[in-house]
């Protein structure tokens, strides 16, 4: 198999580190760019002594750093961003700087350094107040948070950079990704790692709302596959966005119950008020990604949950 050079922005973060591990293990050259505002060095410690891995510490808000990071790179997998709807409501200015301007810097650096393709992380949050299920790419609603809006703007820039500058961009709308290397700590942690982490310590987790809100929980292995396959997709599909989920739908209450069952726990959660900006239901139509990107998600929610719980038990 031919070997390529990849830049993974946010490569020490949750999804980025999983991508780095996969690419390094298959023999590709990987440059990881991270400012460690959210990423963790421990996520990539095992890669630091690999000859085909390079760590570049820097902030995507610095254009010169982006230019240098993209030098002699075939494919860019742009994962660097600040996530979390609640945090974006608290810090909208930072989200504009990092998620929008940072992404624009990466797109422009890709053009100037003649990168073949740029695959970037978007989010199912762009569907906003749309009630249609399953979600299909060409129908979205009004954004409900600054985070959602930043991802919506990045998608428009991705389209423009294809049509005006010839950069092959592929936007991946992630649906509630979970798995190893995901941070379970803090007020802005995602629900799956937070549930697991608290239950391992016999602490009752909090569920916002009635627990009947549903999500298309997607194991990170599926997301890694989608990123890599997008790099080798036809240029005719560049400029488009794609749902990257499993295609399933679980309520938070059911997900919590499943985690309790796997861990052998009988701990009742604490229910509290809904959070601002959260959508009620989410479910991905992934047929477009299957057709255009040859995306074939292999890890189901149940299997992925067991893999994730095993990892947290080993690394708690």
H or E element, residue 76: strand 75-78
Give CA separation, 40 vs 15, 17, 70, 106, 180, in Å. 12, 9, 22, 21, 13
Are 12 and 44 in contact by the 8 Å Cβ rule? The answer is yes
Residue with tokens 């074939």: 296
From 11, 35, 143, 10, select the one nearest 88 (Cα to Cα): 143
CB neighbours of residue 22 within 10 Å? 17
Are 260 and 266 in contact by the 8 Å Cβ rule? The answer is yes
Mention every residue, 6+ apart, whose C-beta is less than 8 A from residue 72: 5, 113
Residue with tokens 């802005």: 188
Active site residues per annotation: 147
Mention every residue, 6+ apart, whose C-beta is less than 8 A from residue 12: 32, 34, 36, 39, 40, 41, 43, 44, 55
**Do the strands 5-9 and 75-78 form a parallel or antiparallel pair, or are they unpaired?**
parallel
H or E element, residue 263: helix 252-263
Going by the DSSP 8-state scheme, the letter that residue 77 receives in this structure is E
Are 305 and 262 in contact by the 8 Å Cβ rule? The answer is yes
């Amino acid at each position: 198999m031919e070997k390529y050079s990849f830049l993974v922005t946010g490569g020490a973060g949750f999804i980025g580190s999983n991508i780095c591990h996969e690419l390094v293990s298959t023999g590709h050259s990987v440059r990881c760019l991270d400012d460690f505002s959210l990423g963790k060095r421990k996520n990539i410690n095992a890669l630091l002594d690999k000859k085909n891995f390079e760590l570049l510490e820097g902030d995507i808000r610095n254009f010169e750093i982006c230019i240098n990071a993209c030098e002699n790179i075939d494919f860019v997998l742009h994962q660097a961003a600040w996530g979390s709807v609640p945090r974006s409501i608290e810090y909208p200015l930072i989200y504009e700087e990092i998620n929008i301007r940072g992404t624009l810097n990466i797109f422009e650096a890709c053009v100037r350094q003649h990168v073949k393709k740029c695959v970037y992380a978007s989010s199912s949050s762009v569907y906003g107040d749309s009630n249609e299920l399953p979600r299909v790419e060409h129908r979205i609603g009004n954004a409900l948070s600054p985070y959602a809006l930043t991802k919506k703007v990045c998608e428009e820039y991705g389209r423009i950079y294809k049509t005006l500058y010839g950069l092959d961009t592929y936007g991946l709308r992630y649906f509630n990704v979970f798995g190893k290397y995901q941070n379970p700590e803090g007020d802005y942690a995602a629900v799956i790692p937070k549930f697991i982490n608290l239950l391992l310590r016999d602490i009752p987790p909090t569920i916002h709302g009635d627990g009947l809100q549903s999500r298309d929980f997607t194991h990170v292995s599926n997301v890694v596959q989608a990123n890599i396959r997008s790099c080798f997709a036809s240029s005719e599909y560049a400029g488009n966005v794609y749902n990257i989920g499993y295609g399933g739908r679980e309520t938070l209450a059911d997900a919590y119950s499943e985690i309790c069952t796997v861990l052998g726990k009988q701990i009742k959660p604490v229910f509290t008020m809904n959070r601002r900006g959260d959508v009620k239901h989410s479910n991905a139509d992934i047929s477009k990604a299957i057709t255009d990107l040859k995306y074939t998600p292999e890890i189901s929610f149940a299997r992925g949950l067991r893999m994730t719980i095993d990892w947290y038990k080993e690394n708690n």
